[in-house]
Each structure stands twice: as structure tokens, then as C-alpha cells.
Amino acid sequence: MSERRLISFDWAIKRLLRSKANFEILEGFLSELLREDVTIISLLESETNKETQSQKQSRLDLKVKNSKNEFIIVEIQYETEYDFLQRVLFSTSKTITENLEVGSPYSDVVKVYSINILYFDFGHGEDYIYHGNTVFKGLYKNDVLQLNERQKKFFDKEFPQQIFPEYYLIKINNFNNVAKNTLDEWVYFLKNEKVKSEFTAKGLKKAIEELDILKLSVDERRAYERYSDDLHYQASMVQSSFGVGQMEGFQKGLKKGLKKGVRKGRQDARKEMLQTVKNLIAMKLSLESIAQATGLSFEEVKKINDGQCMQNKS
């Protein structure tokens, strides 16, 4: 059981997978994820596709059009981003509006798949692949809405969710490195940048041939190593910043909590003392005796007594 060390998927997208000769690799990944054969017709350029001056950019997306005239967005994200879901929603919405020509009917709205490969801890969930789509369910009958017969023939679809965008979130860090199926084999590669010799997932054989680090030129290998080091550095900085922030937050919270606890403790003790004095007054003890027993001044006890008397009169 041997493993082949390959170029990371994000680097491959930047440098190698844009060639039509290498579409087979990306088609293999998309086919395994979407569970249907995907054929890429064209790669669509966008601002985030283009090379940036800095290689420190942690986000990139790849937009492709398949043989069904559907659009697939692939995004890779390394750094924590709390409004990530909103950004994903914006990307899919923008793709839809950009590809609906002026004057066209709404039936021309394109189908969009948003595939997000996440290398940070996002949301709360134990799984490592999440799929989201729009399903219409009855509030009372709990049935799932289907298209009518004319719509089914016109759109060649059964359900509304086949028209709406679909989202995939792949939480790489949650994967336990045990490949139970061909899709897991791809996730293993995405996490470890390695492929085992027994893997049979679509596209991985071509990936082994084209993404072998040893096939890089000296200059390309140095550039790739700098890129990998930079990603490790970014991850360390994020982790360090999070750790420092977490510690500072804990200390502030502890200090605030102690102050609040002391204040509440004093309030509770005051209430208990007040009730004790009232009980002793009810027992007809002299104010002097009560002051001596509680450690309060005579004036404090008298004030409590006067207040009790006024309350009884009212």
C-alpha cells in the first residue's frame, strides 16, 4: 500500500487544471461529489480566477460550465470567515444574474452548484460533507412539493430543488482519513495531498500523472514550496491570533465575572442580614441587643425597625 505525494488541489487549480487537457481531473472530482458524470465545456474567468500579485490570497474560486448548461463554482477557503455563508449566497446569486440576459424569461435562470472546500472550523457539526438545497414542504400535510406535469416536461425536472442552487460544504479537518468510498478518496487527497495506490475514484489516476511534485521544474517546485510555507504561516497566525484573543477574552470575562460575583454576594448577604434583623425585631428583642448580635450600628437597626413599622401601618 503506497502513497503518491501530489500538488495541493488549490495550487493545481491556479496553475494546471485550467488546461483543457487536464479537465479530466476536475471532472472526476465533480462527478464523484455530484454522483453523476460531469463533462466540463468551458472555464469561466472572474476576478478571483486571475493571478494576484500576492500569493497569500486564501480564497479562490473556479467557475465552470458543464454539458447541461449548468454552472459549478468551486471555492477553497483556509481562513476563518464568519459571514462565509452569506458570501457563498452572494456568489451563486451573482452567477445567476450575470447569466440571465436582458429580456430573457425567468425560465432561462441557470442552475448553479456551489462547492466549498473548507480548511477551517466552520459551524457546528460532526460530519465532513454537508449538502444544502431548497425543499418546499407542506406545513400541515408535510408533503414535498413537486412540479406539475407540464413543468416536468418543460424543465425536465421533478422537484423545485432541482432548479434552485445547491450547496456543498466539505469540512476537510473533520475527515478521519478513512476512505470508505470513492468520494472519500478525493477528500483524502484534498486533506493530505496524497493518493493511495488502491484508490479508484474518477480523476485520481489522471491526477497522479499530472500533479506529481517530482514532475515540476526546479523553479515551479520552489514556487510551490513558498506557497505551501505561506499557507502554513497563515494558519499559524490565525491560530495564534485566535489563541491570544481567546485568552484575553477569558481573562476579561473572569475579571468581570469576579466583580459581578462579589457585587451579587454582597447584595445577597445584605438581604440575608436585613431578613435576620426583621426576624429579631418580630421576636421583640431590644434594638440594642439586635445591634450587638448582628454587628450593625444602633442607627442601622433603628432605620430597619422604622421602615418595618411604616410598612406594617400601610
Whether residues 211 and 121 fall in one domain: yes
* Averaged pLDDT, 270-290: 79
Decide if 255 is inside a domain: yes
Determine the Cα–Cα distance for residues 145 and 64; give it in Å rounded to an integer: 30
Whether residues 175 and 279 fall in one domain: no
DSSP string over 223-244: HHHHHHHHHHHHHHHHHHHHHH
Yes or no: say if 45 and 18 are a contact pair by the CB < 8 Å rule.
Answer: no
Decide if 303 is inside a domain: yes
Whether residues 96 and 245 fall in one domain: no
Cell numbers 459581578 correspond to: 260
Determine the Cα–Cα distance for residues 138 and 129; give it in Å rounded to an integer: 27
Residue 72 to residues 30, 38, 205, 228, 271, Cα–Cα distance (Å): 9, 10, 22, 26, 66
Determine the Cα–Cα distance for residues 253 and 256; give it in Å rounded to an integer: 5
pLDDT at 55: 41
Decide if 61 is inside a domain: yes
Whether residues 182 and 276 fall in one domain: no
Contacts 24+ apart (CB under 8 A), 302-306: 304/274, 304/277, 304/278, 305/277, 305/281
Angle (CA) 151-156-158 rounded to 5° is 70
Determine the Cα–Cα distance for residues 300 and 209; give it in Å rounded to an integer: 89
pLDDT band at 247 (very low <50, low <70, confident <90, very high): low
- The cell numbers describing 30, all together, are 465533480
Decide if 13 is inside a domain: yes
Whether residues 247 and 211 fall in one domain: no
Whether residues 113 and 197 fall in one domain: yes
Residue 95 to residues 117, 121, 164, 298, Cα–Cα distance (Å): 19, 26, 12, 80
Whether residues 211 and 246 fall in one domain: no
- Count of structural domains, the chain: 2
Last residue of a domain, one of 215, 230, 263: 215
Decide if 236 is inside a domain: no
Whether residues 202 and 264 fall in one domain: no
Whether residues 275 and 209 fall in one domain: no
Whether residues 128 and 268 fall in one domain: no
Q: pLDDT tens digit string along 100-122?
A: 999 999 999 999 999 999 988 88
Domain with 277 in it: 241-313
pLDDT at 298: 85
Decide if 147 is inside a domain: yes
pLDDT at 57: 45
Decide if 226 is inside a domain: no
Percent of the chain with pLDDT over 90: 47
pLDDT at 61: 75
Tell me whether strands 59-66 and 40-44 are parallel, antiparallel or unpaired: antiparallel
The residue ranking higher by pLDDT, 52 or 267, is 267
Yes or no: say if 290 and 299 are a contact pair by the CB < 8 Å rule.
Answer: no
pLDDT at 232: 58
Whether residues 254 and 210 fall in one domain: no
Question: Which pTM value belongs to this model?
Answer: 0.70
Decide if 228 is inside a domain: no
